[in-house]
Structure 1
C-alpha cells in the first residue's frame, strides 16, 4: 500500500492549536468572517476519523437544506486538502460521507426534522463526535439540550464524546455566550475567539475588504472582522416571534413576496410571506439568501423552491435585473423609492406582529440585529443601519402596495 507524507501545519495553518487538541465535551469557536473556523473543523473531523478507528460524526444545522452548500462542501474540500479524497465517498441523497476502508460515517441532520436527530445509530463503531455549525441560528437553548443527548453511551479508551460548535457572534444576548463563554473553569468547555488575521491564505483583495469595513462600518467590523460579540440596542422591529405554522393557518391571508438584489459582497434576498391586514399579522414563510447569484441563477433558486408562479416586488434600483427576471417568466414589479419610502415602510410593518417560520434562519439573524443608526455622539437617530437589511428590505418591498394603499381587496388567498 502506497503512503503519502503530508505536513499537517502547512495544510491546516495557525490559530487553532487549542481547538484542534481539546478533548472536552464542548469545543466552541466563535469567529469572524474568513476566520477559517469551518474549514478547520472540517479538516479536524476528516483527520481524526481516519486516525481513530470506530469514530463516527454527526453534523447538524438548524435546517437540513443549508448543509449541502456549507458543511458537506467543506468536508469534501477537507478530503482534497488532506489528499485523501480517494478514500472517501460522498452521497447527496441523503447527505452522507463514508470512510471507505472501514465504513465509518459522517451523518448530516437538520433540527427541522427532530426525530431524525434524536434516533441516530451507526453500523460500525460509535457516534462520538458532532459538529453544530452556525449554532447562532438555534435560538432555544432547550433545542440544543435535546440535541446534546444524541451523543451518549460508553466509548472505548481511544475515543471521546465532543461537540464542535462554530458560529458568528452577532448578538451578545444569545444563550451561547452565557452557556460557554461566561462559564468559569469548566474542564468540559473550551471557548475561543478567532478572526481573519489568523487566516494566512487570504489575498490582498480579501484583506482590503476588512480594512474598508474597519474604516466605513466599524460596528460590523467588531463582529464580522474581529469576532467580538455584537452589541444590539434599539431594534427596528421588536414585535416578532419564531413559530412553526402550516399553510392551512394562512389560507385566508394574502401572499406578499419581495426581492432585494445582491451579488459579490451582499446576498440576493427573496422574501416569501403572507399578510393578514385585518388581524395585523405578517407571516414569514420562506427565504432565498445567497451570494454570487446571477439573475439566471436567482431565478433557478426561486424555481427550485417552487415559488416561480408568485408575484414579486423588487428593488427599483436595478431595472436591468428586473427586466431579466421578467424575461425568464417571473412576475416582478419595481418598488417605489422616495425621500421617506424606507421609514414609511418600516412604520407600516411595525404595526404588525411578525411570525417567522423556524426555517428562515437568515431572516431571524437579520431582524434580531436590525437596529436604528447612531449619530457621532452615539445617539440613536431615525434611520436604520445599512446592515442586516437584505431580507428586511425584501420584506418592505413585499408589503409596499399595502403600505402605500394600493391594495383595496385581497388579491390572493392561501397556498403557494
Structure 2
C-alpha cells in the first residue's frame, strides 16, 4: 500500500480516464491527440499501482533507448513527485531505473534497438507482469511489439494479480499496424480495451494552448482531426505510395545527398540525409533533424554534430542570408535549391521513381510521408495535381537533396558557386 501523504488521485489526474485507470484487460490501448495528458496519466497510474501491488514490476519500452530518459523516465519521476512519495523511491539516472524501496520492485526502461536486453530481463522481487509501450507509433512492425509482449508471462498466487500491456501513441496514419490490431473490430486482439482521448479532457491546458488547438479547425481541418481529435491520419491520395520502414546500415558504396528546409517560429527547420541506389531505384532515408526555433548558429552546430558539414547540402534558396551565414559558420558547401516553375512537381515526379526505405529513427519523416497527400478542389472534392501545403518540411528537404542526383560532377561543383 502507498505510504506517506494521502493524496486525491482525482485531483491529480482530473477527468476523462476513469475506465483507463481501473481497466485490467491484457491490452490497454490509448490513442490520443496532443495535450490529452495520456502519458502523464499513465505515469501516475503505474506508480500508484506498483505501490499498491507488491508483486508487480513494470517494463517501459520505446523504439529507441536514447529517447527513454527525456520522456517516460522523466514522466515517471514527475509522477512520483506529484504523489508526494519521492522518499520511497530510488532513482538510477545512468541506467535509467526506478526502485520502490520498501519492496525492491522495479520500473525498468529498454529500447527496441537492443532486443537482447529485453528478452533476457529478470527481476528479483515479484513478477515482470506489466509493460508500457510509449509512442508506440514509432514501432514499425507488429512482430517487434509481440516479441516483447512474450516476456510478460508467469502467474502469482495473489487474488488481485493481473498481467497487462499498456500502449499509448498519437495516431499519425491509418496504415499503421496498431489500427488493425487494436482498433478495427474484425481484426483486433481479444482481451483489449482501446479508447481515444483529446485535449478537451486536459483541465490543465491554459487558454493559449486551447485557442491554438481550436484555431486548427479553421486553418487546417485535416491536421485538426489528428492533432486535436486523435483520429487516424487518412492515407487516401498519398503523394508517395512506395515506401516502407525498416532498419538498415549505411552503405559505403552509395552516394550521399542532404537537404535543408528552413523554419523558425511555427514551421520547423528540417534536415534530411539520404543515400540513393540508382541501379535498383531505392532511396534510403538515413537521418533527419526536425526542430522549431533554431537560430542559424544552432543549425550550423547541428550539422557539425552530425558530421555532415563538409558535404554538399542543398537548402531552401528563399533565404540567401541564412545560407551565407551558414557558409561563414563553416558549412561551406551549402547551396540554394534551383527553384523554378513547376519545380515541386518535377521533384515529386523524380522521387516517385524510387522505392523509399526509411530508417525507424526518422520518426518525423514517417509522419510526413504518411500524411503528404494530393490537394483537393474545394468545390468538387476531386484531387488536383499538387500536394497539400502541409506535412511538407522534410518532403521539401528531400526534393532539395535529390536536385543534383543526375547532374554530372563538374556541374555539381559549379552549383556551389551560385550567388544569392
Same fold (TM over 0.5): yes
Question: Deviations 1:31-58 (Å, cap 9, x if unpaired)?
Answer: 1111111111112122222222242111
RMSD: 2.7
The secondary structure found in structure 2 opposite 1:10 is helix
Deviates more, 1:61-70 or 1:220-229: 61-70
* Structure 2 counterparts to residues 3-402 of structure 1, below 5 A: 3-157=4-158, 158-183=160-185, 188-247=191-250, 250-331=251-332, 332-376=334-378, 377-402=380-405
In structure 2, the CA distance between the partners of 1:116 and 1:340, relative to structure 1 (3 Å rule), is same
**Do the aligned partners of 1:54 and 1:124 also contact (CA within 8 Å) in 2?**
yes
Structure index of larger Rg: 2
Distance 1:265 1:79, change over 3 A: farther
1:62–1:3: structure 2 CA closer, same or farther, 3 Å change rule? closer
SS in 2 for 1:396: helix
1:24/1:187 contact within 8 Å kept: no
CA gap of 1:235–1:186, structure 2 versus 1, over 3 A, is: closer
Give the TM-score taking structure 2 as reference length. 0.88
Segments of 5+ residues of structure 2 without an aligned counterpart are 414-420
Alpha-carbon shift at residue 191 of structure 1 (Å): 0.6
**In structure 1, distance between residues paired with 2:241 and 2:192:** 33
For residues 73 and 300 of structure 2, the distance between their equivalents in structure 1, rounded to whole angstroms, comes to: 24
Gaps of 5+ in 1: 412-416
Count of residue pairs the alignment pairs up: 408
Structure 2 CA distance for aligned equivalents of residues 84 and 384 of structure 1: 52
> TM-score scaled by structure 1?
0.89
CA shift at 1:86, angstroms? Answer: 4.2
| Alpha-carbon separation, structure 2, partners of 1:300 and 1:119 | 39
**Equivalent residue of 2:108, what SS?**
strand
Change (3 A) 1:140 1:3: closer
1-structure distance, mates of 2:347, 2:410: 17
What SS does the aligned partner of 2:366 have? Answer: helix
1:171 Cα shift? 2.1
What CA deviation, in whole Å up to 9, does each residue of 1:217-251 have, x standing for no partner? 1111111111122221111112222333223xx22
